[in-house]
């Protein structure tokens, strides 16, 4: 290993972070995890990526969430993370819980997308090289593939664990029935699904929607002994003060294709301003309240935040201090978002 450039804070586990048990497993995850979808690519300042990863670890954020194609460019967030491992975090590998995924577009041709065994296994081999890791802690099938037999995708996960490339497996964005099939298949092979990763925030209530058997994605994860981890808990930055007074030039909405300006309708702005006022009454910033709101549910194990600065992570960490809501606060939040909530 090259000379480490960083010594973590000796107080990293006394900084106020809480750890929640992930379903019926031996794993505890921090209530706040850090995602590398944006801001860790080769278009981003490398020094800032290092700074954010160091700060996160110093505050007890031990879970870093990646996927093969995070960047841009594809693969570059894993490469950045690989540099962070090599130069600073490698001595702390056993304190870290690192994920990767495959399921979306990654390389050209028929084998670089969706859910085949061929794609999942070769993609994870590439991810491990980019991240300078021998294994990931959890590997996910990133989305349900309606064309590939689900048994093929899931058996690839089982074999990935048996080969030592991953310690645990998870599913992301699976619809209800496919999720139940996956929970059963994996359990029968003694490789239980550790986590369901789904989008869940004040504006997007997909995981609260019932499937054919009347259960929600959240309830199904719990019933099957899996944890639930929320991605985009800030609705990509909408649920913060970022857009309350215009669209900042350096924001995701101004610079990336993933968050369209079209979502910022007058109705949405009004809802965000009302949420901001409710947050202020709780003594929180809107971003803090949005994370506290997801964490109020004990079926949620962790929220995966994105961040473009250390200051944002610092604000977001304060969410764990107050995850209780009064009945009146919850009703005021529902009233504020009436008409703008999405339930996929």
Ligand X SMILES: NC(=O)c1ccc[n+]([C@@H]2O[C@H](COP(=O)([O-])OP(=O)(O)OC[C@H]3O[C@@H](n4cnc5c(N)ncnc54)[C@H](OP(=O)(O)O)[C@@H]3O)[C@@H](O)[C@H]2O)c1
Residues 204-233 that bind ligand X (CB under 6 A): 231-233
The DSSP symbol for 62 reads: -
Q: How far apart are the first and last CA of the chain?
A: 46
Residue from 126, 219, 251, 322 that binds ligand X (CB under 6 A)? 251
Beta bridge partners of 141: 102, 171
Is residue 38 involved in binding ligand X (CB under 6 A)? yes
In contact, 160 and 120? CB cutoff 8 Å: yes
Is residue 41 involved in binding ligand X (CB under 6 A)? no
Q: Name the residue nearer to ligand X (CB basis): 119 or 231.
A: 231
Is residue 165 involved in binding ligand X (CB under 6 A)? no
Residues 64-123 that bind ligand X (CB under 6 A): 65
Dihedral over Cα of 156, 161, 164, 168: its sign? positive
Residue from 179, 191, 235, 319 that binds ligand X (CB under 6 A)? 235
Is residue 171 involved in binding ligand X (CB under 6 A)? no
Give phi and psi for 110, each to the nearest 5.
-75, -10
Residue from 80, 123, 172, 216 that binds ligand X (CB under 6 A)? 172
Residue from 191, 304, 333, 336 that binds ligand X (CB under 6 A)? 304
DSSP codes joined into one string, 75-139: THHHHHHHHHIIIIIGGGGGG-EEEEEE-S--SSSTTSSTT-HHHHHHHHHHHHHHHT-S-EEEE
Beta bridge partners of 168: 138
Q: Name the residue nearer to ligand X (CB basis): 240 or 292.
A: 240
Residue from 54, 63, 173, 222 that binds ligand X (CB under 6 A)? 173
For the chain, state the CA radius of gyration: 19
Q: Which residue has the tokens 């809802």?
A: 271
Annotate 301-311 with b (16+ C-beta within 10 A) or e (fewer).
bbbbbbbbeee
Q: Name the residue nearer to ligand X (CB basis): 190 or 301.
A: 301
> Minimum CB separation from ligand X for residue 39, in Å?
6
Is residue 197 involved in binding ligand X (CB under 6 A)? yes
Q: Name the residue nearer to ligand X (CB basis): 83 or 99.
A: 99
Selected range binding ligand X among 84-92, 159-167, 205-213, 299-307, rule: CB under 6 A:
299-307
Q: Name the residue nearer to ligand X (CB basis): 29 or 190.
A: 29
Is residue 301 involved in binding ligand X (CB under 6 A)? no
Is residue 252 involved in binding ligand X (CB under 6 A)? yes
> Minimum CB separation from ligand X for residue 202, in Å?
11
Q: Is 6 helix (H, G, I), strand (E, B) or coil?
A: coil
> Minimum CB separation from ligand X for residue 127, in Å?
13
> Minimum CB separation from ligand X for residue 327, in Å?
26
Is residue 322 involved in binding ligand X (CB under 6 A)? no
Q: What's the distance, CA 74 to chain centroid?
A: 18
CA dihedral 105, 302, 200, 260 (to 10 degrees): -50
Structure tokens at 34: 């850090």
> Minimum CB separation from ligand X for residue 19, in Å?
19
Count each helix (H run) and each strand (E run) in the chain, helices first: 11, 10
What is the enclosing helix (H) or strand (E) of 167?
A: strand 166-172
> Minimum CB separation from ligand X for residue 232, in Å?
4
Selected range binding ligand X among 106-114, 155-163, 184-192, 240-248, rule: CB under 6 A:
240-248
Give phi and psi for 196, each to the nearest 5.
-100, 125
> Minimum CB separation from ligand X for residue 100, in Å?
10
- Interface positions with ligand X (CB under 6 A): 35-39, 65, 142, 172-173, 197, 231-237, 240-242, 251-252, 287, 304-308, 312, 315-316
């Amino acid at each position: 290993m090259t000379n480490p450039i960083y010594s973590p804070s000796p107080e990293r586990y006394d900084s106020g972070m809480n750890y929640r048990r992930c379903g019926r497993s031996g794993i505890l995850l921090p209530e706040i995890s850090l995602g590398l979808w944006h801001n860790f690519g080769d278009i981003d300042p490398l020094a800032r990526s290092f700074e954010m990863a160091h700060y996160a670890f110093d505050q007890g954020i031990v879970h870093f969430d990646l996927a093969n194609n995070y960047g841009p460019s594809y693969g570059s967030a894993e490469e950045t993370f690989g540099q962070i491992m090599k130069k600073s975090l490698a001595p702390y590998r056993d304190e870290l819980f690192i994920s990767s995924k495959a399921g979306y577009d990654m390389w050209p041709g028929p084998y670089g997308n969706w859910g085949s065994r061929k794609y999942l296994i070769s993609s994870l081999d590439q991810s491990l090289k980019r991240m300078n890791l021998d294994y990931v802690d959890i590997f996910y099938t990133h989305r349900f593939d309606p064309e590939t037999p689900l048994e093929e995708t899931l058996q690839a996960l089982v074999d990935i664990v048996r080969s030592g490339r991953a310690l645990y497996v998870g599913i992301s964005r699976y619809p209800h029935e496919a999720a139940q099939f996956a929970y059963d298949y994996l359990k029968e092979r003694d490789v239980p699904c550790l986590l369901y990763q789904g989008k869940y925030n004040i504006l997007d209530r997909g995981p609260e929607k019932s499937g054919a058997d009347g259960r929600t994605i959240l309830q199904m994860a719990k019933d099957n002994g899996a944890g639930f981890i929320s991605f985009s808990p800030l609705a990509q930055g909408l649920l913060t003060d970022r857009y309350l007074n215009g669209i900042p030039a350096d924001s995701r909405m101004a610079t990336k294709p993933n968050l369209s300006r079209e979502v910022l309708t007058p109705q949405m702005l009004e809802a965000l301003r009302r949420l901001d006022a409710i947050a202020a009454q709780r003594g929180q910033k809107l971003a803090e309240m949005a994370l506290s709101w997801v964490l109020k549910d004990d079926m949620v194990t962790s929220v995966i935040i994105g961040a473009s600065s250390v200051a944002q992570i610092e604000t977001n960490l304060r969410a764990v201090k107050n995850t209780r809501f009064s009945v009146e606060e919850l009703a005021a939040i529902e009233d504020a978002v009436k008409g703008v909530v999405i339930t996929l």
